[in-house]
Amino acid sequence: MKQKDFCIEKKVENLLEYFGENTERDGLKETPARVIRMYGELLSGYSENPKKHFKLFDSNGYHDLVTVSNIDFYSLCEHHMIPFFGKVHIGYIPNGKVLGLSKFARIVEVFTRRLQTQENITHQIAEAIEENMHPQGLAVVVEAEHLCVSMRGIKKKGFITTTSVFKNKLKTDSFLITQFYRDIDNYLLNKKI
């Protein structure tokens, strides 16, 4: 065990004791070490560069809307370190290059595995795609439920927040915007049937 890990374990132990727990009881003896491993996984996005996931391919003349929807994510709110989770929907119009579909999920993971706000996630995903793909149009929509709203404070369940970034043709072309939302709705509709 690294010295740094031991110091953090001790702080987790102190936190448990502060709230009246007996850190010597069986169920809690290994909890500080598990907490460190858990946060290592939940915050692994800090050690990853999103650029490494942008392996582009020739679009072979395809220049219409591509929609990748319903990408699950889990993140930690930077204000309370409580989870928030939901779906990311991405639409883009290629500019001569396309990205392998699984890479969108990997890019989402890079940004959601950090202490975040939903607004930042939406913006960061959009910026990374724009900088690395230069699409003719781009839409990123994030829908999420925040446990800091449903399990503390106001305590309202099912409270969904939506954030979005639209750029270039997907900001100005009403047909493309409608098609993007139709693609998302069709997926969700078919999922319920």
Tokens of 2: 């690294």
Please report which helix (H) or strand (E) contains residue 38, including its range. Answer: helix 31-42
**Active-site residue (options: 53, 89, 109, 118):** 118
**Active-site residue (options: 30, 78, 119, 131):** 78
**Active-site residue (options: 30, 63, 79, 119):** 79
**Active-site residue (options: 80, 130, 134, 145):** 80
Distance between CA atoms of 26 and 105, rounded to whole angstroms?
38
Tokens of 100: 């392998």
**Would you call 123 a catalytic residue per the annotation?**
no
**Active-site residue (options: 130, 134, 148, 179):** 148
Give me the residue label for tokens 């800091």: 148
Distance between CA atoms of 157 and 119, rounded to whole angstroms?
20
**Would you call 78 a catalytic residue per the annotation?**
yes
Coil/strand/helix, residue 152: coil
DSSP type of residue 114:
S
Please report which helix (H) or strand (E) contains residue 89, including its range. Answer: strand 83-93
Please report which helix (H) or strand (E) contains residue 192, including its range. Answer: helix 174-192
**Would you call 7 a catalytic residue per the annotation?**
no
Residue 107: which of 183, 42, 45, 39 has the closest Cα? 45
**Active-site residue (options: 77, 89, 109, 124):** 77
In this structure, how many other beta carbons lie within 10 angstroms of the beta carbon of residue 102? 10
**Would you call 118 a catalytic residue per the annotation?**
yes
**Active-site residue (options: 13, 89, 116, 146):** 146
Active-site residue set: 77-80, 118, 146, 148
